[in-house]
Amino acid sequence: MGDGVTKLEDGQRHVGQSILAVLAGIVAGIVLTIGTDIVFHAIGVFPPLGQWTPSGPLALATVYRAIYSVAAGYITARLAPNRPLGHALVGGVVALVVSIAGAVATWNRGLGPHWYPVALVVLAMPTAWLGSWFWLKQIRQTASTP
C-alpha cells in the first residue's frame, strides 16, 4: 500500500515540476522580451507605442525574440523532470497561441508590416524545439565525457 501512495506522490511532484518548468520558460521569455522592448522604446530604437513601426526595428525585434524563445525552450527543458523536448514544445504551443492571438488582434491596426506577426507565429515552435535541442546536446556531451 505504501508503494501506491509513494507513486501517487511522485506523479504529483512530477506534474508540479512540469508545470513550474513550463512556466519558468514562459516567464523568462516574457521578462526578457518586455524588458528589451522597454529599453528600445526608451532609447528611441522603437517609436512610441501605438505608432507604425518600420521593418528595420521589427527585424531586430524578431531576432531578439527568437533568441529569447530559444532560451525559454532551453530553460523549460533544463527544468523538466522528464521528457525535456515535450515540455519545451508545450511552451512553444503557448507561444504559438499567443502569437496567433497577437497577429489577429493587431492585423489591421496600422502598427507595422504584416510579415512581423507572421514571423512570430512561424518561429514559435522551431525556437522552442531548438532550445530543448541545446539542452539535450549538453546532456549528451556531459554523459560522453569521461
Q: Report the pLDDT averaged over residues 100-110.
A: 96
User: Residue 57, SS3?
Assistant: helix
**Angle, alpha carbons 20-21-26 (nearest 5°):** 95
Q: Report the pLDDT averaged over residues 101-127.
A: 97
49's torsion region: left (phi>0), alpha (psi -120 to 50) or beta?
A: beta
Whose CA is closest to 132, among 9, 15, 16, 25?
Answer: 25
Instruction: Give the percent of the chain with pLDDT over 90.
Output: 87
DSSP string, 58-80: HHHHHHHHHHHHHHHHHHHHHH-
Q: What is the pTM of this model?
A: 0.89
pLDDT tens digits along 41-81: 999 999 999 999 999 999 999 999 999 999 999 999 999 99
145, pLDDT greater than 80: no
31, pLDDT greater than 70: yes
**Angle, alpha carbons 16-127-72 (nearest 5°):** 40
138, pLDDT greater than 80: yes
Are 114 and 51 contacting, i.e. CB atoms less than 8 angstroms apart?
no
Cα dihedral sign, 42-73-136-82: positive
More confident: 11 or 116: 116
Please give the Cα distance from 46 to 54 (Å, whole number): 9
Sorting pLDDT into bands at 50, 70 and 90, what band is 143? confident
